[in-house]
A and B are shown apart, each in its own frame.
Chain A
Amino acid sequence: MQGLWPLVAAYAVIWAALFGYLAWIAGEQVRLRQEICELRKSLPPASEDRHRHLGR
């Protein structure tokens, strides 16, 4: 059992890194979507008309 520690440590490192990376991506996506939403709201009306005209 004592000889298994490198395997357990390796699994822990791999899972921690992967979940950490996925959590960072998810957090960034939420933040960027919020910022995009806020910016779209603050766009001047002329620009909104243009977007509507373009069908966006």
Chain B
Amino acid sequence: MAFVAFGVTFGASLAYLIGRRPAWDRVACAAAEIGELFAGLVLVTGVLWARTAWNTWWTWDPRLTTMLVLWLIYAGYLLVRRSVEDEARRARLAAVLGIIGFADVPIVALSIRWWRTIHPAVFDDKGAHMEPRMLVALLISLVAFAFLFASLMVVRVHLSELRDELESLQRSVL
């Protein structure tokens, strides 16, 4: 679901650069933040799983490393958003980063095919390699997390709207 979120950031960033509508910037920001949360959860819960499966908390495996890089890219994206004062410049810079950063998503997804890795390849050209009951559980959680992502997006975009309203009010007062 983190990949979906970063995909939304990519699409919204592209739409912002084309149309310059602030609404797209708000969507891109919200999706990046939620994607970062989900990616962080992947990393932390993955570490817990690795301790049990591989008897180590962390290894510089291609899948783990590229996922960590992806998390760092979007951490940088969120930091840039906080550090630039000018609204238009911030949105433009963030949109460029949101597009470039997405390049790491297919690298993370395909890393288990491109390089030698100890990470299991659950899905490949021949389908899913897991117990049918596990597949059902995976699909149910995928649907649940999709709803969670959509709900968080609505709430987070509204928060950005409030921030923009406050900024425009502050400008009109000053």
A interface residue numbers (CB < 8 A to B): 3, 6, 9-10, 13-14, 17-18, 21-22, 25, 28-29, 32-33, 35-36, 39-40, 42-43, 47
Whether B37 and A17, one on each chain, are in contact in the complex, defined by CB atoms closer than 8 angstroms, is: yes
Whether B41 and A13, one on each chain, are in contact in the complex, defined by CB atoms closer than 8 angstroms, is: yes
Q: Interface readout for B109-152 with A: 1 if CB under 8 Å, 0 if not?
A: 00000000000000000000000000000000000000010001
Interface band, chain B:
20 to 34
Chain B 93-122 residues near chain A, CB threshold 8 A: none
Residues of B within 8 A of A14 (CB): 41, 45
B172 interface residue per 8 A CB criterion: yes
B interface residue numbers (CB < 8 A to A): 37, 40-41, 44-45, 48-49, 51-52, 148, 152, 155-156, 158-159, 162-163, 165-166, 169-170, 172-173
Residues of B within 8 A of A3 (CB): 52
Decide yes or no: A6 and B51 within 8 Å by CB, A17-B40, A17-B41, A32-B166 being known contacts: yes
CA gap between A32 and B159 in the complex, in Å:
8
Nearest-Cβ distance from residue B58 to partner chain A, whole angstroms? 14
Nearest-Cβ distance from residue B155 to partner chain A, whole angstroms? 6
Whether A25 and B159, one on each chain, are in contact in the complex, defined by CB atoms closer than 8 angstroms, is: yes
Assuming A9-B48, A13-B45, what are 10 further A-B pairs, CB within 8 angstroms?
A6-B51, A13-B41, A14-B41, A14-B45, A28-B159, A29-B162, A32-B162, A32-B163, A39-B166, A39-B170
Where chain A touches its partner, the secondary structure class is helix
